[in-house]
């Protein structure tokens, strides 16, 4: 008999929902993953083809966060326990939470 979690994992992969699940999990835990300061000025907009898209609230913070791209990749991958992100793209815009 299989565990429910294994069955759910199989269904999530089968229907291509793993990416969306990762996006929602990261958005929910964004502050704990990247820290309070960065989280207060940014929001993960999506994950596509191992690229993390982040909305930043101002050009000043876009510049500041750009210095931490590698650190953000490491933190996100560590959170998921596997390498799901290879690149980070930053864009200024209105943060929706």
The upper half-sphere exposure of residue 86, i.e. CA atoms within 13 Å in the direction of its Cβ, equals 3
Degrees, nearest 5: CA angle 71-23-14? 125
The residues, any chain, with a CB within 8 Å of residue 12's CB and separated by 6 or more, are 18, 21
Tokens 């994950």, residue? 47
pLDDT (tens, 9 = 90+) of the chain, 97 residues, equals: 668 777 777 777 776 667 788 888 999 999 999 999 999 999 999 999 999 999 999 999 999 999 999 999 999 999 999 999 999 999 998 766 5
Helices (H), 1-97: 4-14, 18-28, 30-34, 36-39, 59-66, 69-80
Q: Order of strands across the sheet with 51-56?
A: 42-48, 51-56, 87-92
Q: Report all structural domains of the chain as residue ranges with CATH numbers, in order of start.
A: 18-92 (3.30.300.180)
pTM of the model: 0.82
């Amino acid at each position: 008999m299989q565990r429910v979690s294994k069955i759910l994992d199989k269904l999530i992969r089968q229907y291509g929902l793993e990416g969306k699940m990762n996006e929602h999990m990261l958005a929910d835990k964004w502050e704990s993953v990247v820290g309070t300061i960065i989280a207060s000025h940014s929001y993960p907009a999506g994950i596509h083809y191992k690229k993390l898209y982040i909305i930043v609230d101002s050009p000043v913070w876009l510049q500041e966060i750009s210095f931490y791209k590698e650190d953000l990749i490491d933190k996100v991958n560590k959170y998921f326990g596997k390498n799901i992100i290879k690149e980070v793209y930053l864009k200024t815009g209105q943060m929706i939470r």
